[in-house]
Structures are given as C-alpha cells and as structure tokens.
C-alpha cells in the first residue's frame, strides 16, 4: 500500500480508525483486549479539566474548536520539536500535514500508527509504528502544531509555498531583546510540534514517529525535552516549581477563565486572518538558568528577585500563594516589599497594559555544559492572541530591568502561528491552503 492510500484509508475512517490499541496489545488473551477497550471507552467520557488533571492516563480529545495542548491542564512531560521543510512543493506540504494529522489522531488516542501498527506488520518490513509506547496508556498526550515565519517567507524573502499573503500580521519576527544570546540551531523552524503527556515515553514516541513520517519532506531542526511542568492551566492543578525552586505560573491564564481566554488567548474574528480564528500564537524561548550561581544566592535575595516567598509562593508581604500582589506595600525599612525590579512586578499585567500569557513551559536539564555545570533551565512556551501586544512588550520590559537576568540567558527562540482545532475529516491548518 502506498503512502497516499494509507493516508486516505485513515482519513476516511475518521475517529474510529483502524489503529491498534496499545492496551489491546499488552495481553494476548481476549480478556485483556476487552479490558483495554473498556478502559479506553471510559476515558473518553471523563474529559473535564478536573478529571484530566487528576487522571493522568486517559486520552485527550484530538478534535475540537481549538487545538488540544493549549488550555489542556498542563501535562508533566514535553517533547517539543521544530521542523524545516526540505520540499519546495506545496502539495507535498499539504500531504505531510494530512499524514501527520491522521497519525496524531491515532497516537493521541493511544493507538499505534499505520495499518499494522508496531508488531503486526509483515516480518520483512520495518514496523510502521516504532513500538516504544506499546503497553502505555494514552497518558493525556496532546499534539499541537504551529507554523513559523519561514513557512510563509524565508530569510531571503522567497514565497516558498504561495503562502506569503496568508502570513498573519501578528506573526512578526521577534525583535532582539537585550541580552539575547540566541543559537540559530535552537531557534526558528518552519513548523513546530509540541507533544505533551504525563508519560515521557509517550511524548517522545509521538515526535519520533511524526519525524519519521516527515523524512523526505521535512527535517528536524531541533528538539527539546522537558521533564517537569512549570505552570498550571487549570485551577484543578497545583502550582509546580521551576529549577530556581520557586512556584511558577501562579497567575497564569486558566482554562476556567473563559472570558479572559477570548480576550487574551484565542485569535478573534476581528483580528484575522480567517484561517487563524480560534487559534493562538506560540512563543518559545529556551532559557538557560545559571543554577549554580543561583544556588549560592541567599534566600532573601532569591525571594526579592522573584517577588514571592519561596515556601508558600505568596507575594512578599502576603500569606497565601493566590493573594493579590500589593505593589505599594512597604516594609518597616520603608522599602517596597515587592521591589521595582522584581520579576513578578515587571511581568504583571498591571504593568503591561493588561497583557497576559498562557504559559506552559517545562524544566529541562540537557546533561552538562563541559564546565561542570548543568545545562539546565526553562523551556518557556507561551500562547497568546497577539505577540505584538503581549509577549514582545512584556519581554522587552523584563529584558531591560528584571534582576533575574543575572541568572538566566535566552539561548533559543521561536514564534509560531497555531491554527484552530481540527475537525473530523480535516487536517492541521487546512484553511491556510484554501
């Protein structure tokens, strides 16, 4: 069967596709298969934020108005990759997006990709699915796609796929921020795919298989693993800690704030372009943390830099993590409790024309740097309605004044237009090509 036939076969069968349930493969006995199917069905009906935040094994619906993996309660693990297209043909790009969408629908449902999956194919052929997720649950895997600026117009100004006039005005090239030390090999990319899951192997399996499908059409530009979430996107979740040891994402946009999401996250009809309505813009930043020097910093200085208590996560001068920050409060010494250059102040909406971000970044440690230090940090991911009004002004202010800058370096960067959700029978970004 050719690739095209496979693709059509998968598309036509829609959500009830032929992929093999990974659970069904665990036991050879029929009883095991039945259990697997029942378990799968049960997961499908319990997809409230609360249950998703607590049940870390079930599937997250792939189809919908918005792409999954944005407001979805943040999973624990990340595998993020960007791809450069090696093809110059628009129809090959479209074909790739169709194949990827079909595969994504299967993998997120906890199924093997392809007609035969990981182990049931012909013995002489390489298995269609790479197999390392066999026996693992869907683990709330989400796959979220975004299109980089270079997909529309490359660095030399070429309209590579006849998409130049479809480039959203909000998909700007990010400006240089003070202190940026960006590695081109860890920045940019024509297409980004964010895989989030509560099981690291499930996330890696997804990117690996999508990369494999892409060979000949795309090439991985870089990929990044994240081992722990640094924010919460639902009030049902607790606030995790970043590698500075501080709670991160307390004031994040939450999926329960539906009105705010329309205002701050989702691209609206009046924003245009049409193909992006219901989508969002993603900014990725690989932020290296100088954790060894941070660790030598006194507790009071650490708290002063962040503007929150390290234990409770409460704003300085307050008792509870979720207490409103009092930016005017002064201590007995007459100094502001939350200093003028504290991170929480400079990043706060009240000092940024109300701009908010939906953050879902991850801690990373990519081994060590050869100097005896951990190559560690935060892989920052932020979704928003318009980076020109949100990420860019906020980051400009942080880059200029944030006292935390002494301990961080922005070493990678990307900006992507993430289209709205996929409907059954459609594919990622279909409206872009209409």
Partner 1 sequence: MITFTTRRATATAVPLLAALLLAGCADETPQVTPGDATGPVAVKATESECELSRRDVKSGTSTFSVSNGGSKVTEFYVYAEGDRVMGEVENIGPGLKRDLIVELPTGKYQAVCKPGMVGDGIRGDLNVTGDATAQIDTDTALKQATESYQRYVNSQAVALEEKTTEFVAAVKAGDVAKAKELFPISRTYWERIEPVAESFGDLDPKIDARVNDVEPGTEWTGYHRIEQALWVSNTTKGMEKYADQLLVDVKTVVAKAKVVKLNPLQLANGAKELVDEVATTKITGEEDRYSHTDLWDFEANVEGSQAAIQALRPALQQRDPALVTTLDTNFKAVFAAVDKYRVGDGFKPYLPTEAERKELSTVIDALAEPVSKVAGVIAKK
Residues that bind partner 1 (CB under 8 A): 2-4, 86, 121-126, 185, 212, 215-217, 219
Provide, rounded to whole angstroms, the least separation between the CB of residue 125 and partner 1: 2
Strands 218-226 and 77-85: antiparallel
Q: What are phi and psi of 36, to 5 degrees?
A: -60, -45
Which residue lies nearer to partner 1 by CB, 2 or 332? 2
Provide, rounded to whole angstroms, the least separation between the CB of residue 406 and partner 1: 31
Which residue lies nearer to partner 1 by CB, 123 or 319? 123
CA distance 337 to 326: 8
On the question of a cis peptide bond just before residue 273, with omega within 30 degrees of 0, the verdict is: yes
Q: What are phi and psi of 314, to 5 degrees?
A: -70, 145
CA distance 195 to 289: 23
Closest CA to 135 of 18, 53, 28: 28
As given in the structure block, the two tokens for residue 95 are 């074909």
Provide, rounded to whole angstroms, the least separation between the CB of residue 219 and partner 1: 4
Which residue lies nearer to partner 1 by CB, 185 or 371? 185
Which residue lies nearer to partner 1 by CB, 184 or 331? 184
Which residue lies nearer to partner 1 by CB, 127 or 349? 127
Provide, rounded to whole angstroms, the least separation between the CB of residue 109 and partner 1: 24
CA distance 132 to 113: 12
CA distance 178 to 429: 34
Provide, rounded to whole angstroms, the least separation between the CB of residue 190 and partner 1: 13
Which residue lies nearer to partner 1 by CB, 18 or 236? 18
Which residue lies nearer to partner 1 by CB, 154 or 263? 154
CA distance 367 to 133: 24
Provide, rounded to whole angstroms, the least separation between the CB of residue 348 and partner 1: 41
DSSP letter at 174 equals: P
CA distance 271 to 268: 5
Provide, rounded to whole angstroms, the least separation between the CB of residue 115 and partner 1: 11
Q: Are 107 and 143 in contact (CB under 8 A)?
A: yes
CA-based angle 327:330:333, to the nearest 5? 150
């Amino acid at each position: 069967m050719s690739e095209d036939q496979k693709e059509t076969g998968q598309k036509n069968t829609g959500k009830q596709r032929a992929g093999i349930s990974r659970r069904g493969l665990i036991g050879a006995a029929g009883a095991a298969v039945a259990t697997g199917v029942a378990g799968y069905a049960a997961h499908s009906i319990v997809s409230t934020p609360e249950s998703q935040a607590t049940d870390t094994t079930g599937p997250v619906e792939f189809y919908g108005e918005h792409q999954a993996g944005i407001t979805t309660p943040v999973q624990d693990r990340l595998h993020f990759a960007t791809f450069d297209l090696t093809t110059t043909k628009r129809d090959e790009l479209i074909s790739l997006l169709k194949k990827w969408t079909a595969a994504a629908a299967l993998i997120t449902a906890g199924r093997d990709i392809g007609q035969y999956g990981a182990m049931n194919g012909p013995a002489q052929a390489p298995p269609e699915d790479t197999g390392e997720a066999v026996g693992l649950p869907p683990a709330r895997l989400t796959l979220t796609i975004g299109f980089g600026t270079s997909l529309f117009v490359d660095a030399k100004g070429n309209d590579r796929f006849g998409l130049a006039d479809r480039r959203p005005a909000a998909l700007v090239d990010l400006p240089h921020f003070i202190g940026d030390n960006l590695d081109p090999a860890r920045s940019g990319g024509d297409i980004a795919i964010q895989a989030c899951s509560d099981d690291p192997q499930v996330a890696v399996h997804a990117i690996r298989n999508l990369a494999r499908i892409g060979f000949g059409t795309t090439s991985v530009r870089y990929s990044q693993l994240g081992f722990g979430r640094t924010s919460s996107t639902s009030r049902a979740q607790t606030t995790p800690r970043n590698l500075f040891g501080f709670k991160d994402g307390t004031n994040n946009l939450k999926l329960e704030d539906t009105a705010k999401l329309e205002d701050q996250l989702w691209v609206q009809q009046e924003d245009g372009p049409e193909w992006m309505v219901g989508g969002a813009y993603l900014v990725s930043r690989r932020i290296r943390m100088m954790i060894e020097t941070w660790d030598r910093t006194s507790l009071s200085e650490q708290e002063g830099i962040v503007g929150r208590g390290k234990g409770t996560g409460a704003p300085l001068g307050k008792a509870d993590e979720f207490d409103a920050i009092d930016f005017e409060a002064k201590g007995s010494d007459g100094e502001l409790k939350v200093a003028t250059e504290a991170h929480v102040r400079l990043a706060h909406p009240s000092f940024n024309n109300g701009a908010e971000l939906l953050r879902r970044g991850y801690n990373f440690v990519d081994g060590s740097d050869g100097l005896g230090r951990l190559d560690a940090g935060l892989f920052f991911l932020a979704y928003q309605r318009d980076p020109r009004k949100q990420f860019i002004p906020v980051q400009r202010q942080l880059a200029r004044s944030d006292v935390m800058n002494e301990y961080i370096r922005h070493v990678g960067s990307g900006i992507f237009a993430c289209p709205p959700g996929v409907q059954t029978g459609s594919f990622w970004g279909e409206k872009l090509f209409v």
